[in-house]
Amino acid sequence: MADRWEKFSENTKGRYYVTKVCIGCTLCSVIAPSSFRENTDMELSVGHCYVYRQPENETEEALCREAMDSCPAGAIGNNGSRNNQ
Ligand code: SF4
C-alpha cells in the first residue's frame, strides 16, 4: 500500500515537494504559481498539485513558504536544504 506521506512522482527535484495527503484544493498554485501547479490527469480520481519548479529567488521562496504554511492538509514538505538538491 502506498504511503500517504509519499511524495508525488511529478515533483521536480529539490527542497519543496507535495505528498499524497494533498486534497487538491489548488490553494498552493494560487499562492505560488511559479512553483506549484495542478495535475489535471483525468485518470486520477482526485486531482492534486505538485512542485514543477523550485523557488529561485527570495520572493519565490517566501511564496513557497506561505503556500506550505497555508496548505489545509499539511501536504507540502521542505527538506530544509538551502540548494535544490
Ligand atoms: S494547498 Fe495543499 S492540499 Fe491544497 S492543492 Fe496544494 S498541496 Fe494540495
Tens of pLDDT, residues 1-22: 456 679 999 999 999 999 999 9
pLDDT at 81: 73
Tens of pLDDT, residues 24-77: 999 999 999 999 999 877 565 568 999 999 999 999 999 999 999 999 999 999
Domains, the chain: 16-78 (3.30.70.20)
**Residues at CB less than 6 angstroms from ligand 1:** 18, 22-28, 48-49, 71-73, 75-76
Give, for ligand 1, the residue of 22, 44, 63 to mutate: max count of ligand atoms closer than 8 Å to Cβ: 22
d(CA 18, ligand 1 centre) in Å: 8
Q: Whose CA is nearest to atom 8 of ligand 1?
A: 22
Query: How many CB atoms are located within 10 Å of the residue 71 CB?
Result: 22
pLDDT at 1: 45
